[in-house]
Amino acid sequence: MNALLKVSRGIDAVVDFMGRYLGWLVLIMILVGVYNTATRYIGSVMGRSLASNTLIEAQWYMFSILFFLGASYVLKHNEHVRVDVFYGNWPPKRKALVNIIGTLLFLIPFCIVVIWVSTQPVLISWGMNRRTGVIDLARMEWSDQPGGLPRAPIKSMILIGFGLLAIQGISELIKNIAVLMGKLQSTEKTLEEQFAQGSLLQQQAPGESPAR
């Protein structure tokens, strides 16, 4: 189990690294949004169009990237929305069991289905010929707006985002199994905070109370 916990810690580290840098994308998106709004109002006063389709589309592209790539980061930090009546008051092992069932029956299968149904449309957006399967980048899908951006890269975020979400789901699955096995006390703290404690729990003699 310690080997699997190390794998989980590695996954968490990658997702955390990505999440920290996504924070800068939020700032850039806000600045671009402010610029787009300002140019729209100033242009209406001047009687001319100052807006850029490139920047308008870039703004919602960045929002899409935040949504797709941020999902795994939110799952890792247990900040996703929960609508429950009983879960919050359950002991850690019962929570872990529910999390394992939810991950195996819903989260990972849903990610696999989304990736499965999205792969061909994404490849076609990159210019894949349906009949031959050959990708021709000259046929890549672009925005139909003047000055618009290519659609293929942003559509690829569907595959990347749900792929990362599935991988983080595996990390959460490992941690919840460790809770059921008594290797970790809870998944509500980060694995970094509990990794050393998990090693201690593994080495304890039978009947000895967990270290606090």
pLDDT of residue 138: 87
Count CB neighbours of 183 within 10 A: 22
- State how many domains the chain has: 1
Residue 177 domain flag: yes
Residue 210 domain flag: no
Residue 212 domain flag: no
Residue 160 domain flag: yes
pLDDT of residue 200: 39
What residue spans of 77-190 are helical by DSSP H?
A: 92-102, 108-125, 152-180
The pTM score is 0.81
| Structural domain harbouring 102 | 2-195
Mean pLDDT per 10-residue run, the chain (212 residues)? Answer: 87 91 92 90 78 88 94 87 74 88 94 96 92 87 89 95 96 91 69 48 45 38
Residue 83 domain flag: yes
Alpha carbon separation from 91 to 80, 97, 136 (Å, rounded): 19, 10, 55
pLDDT of residue 190: 53
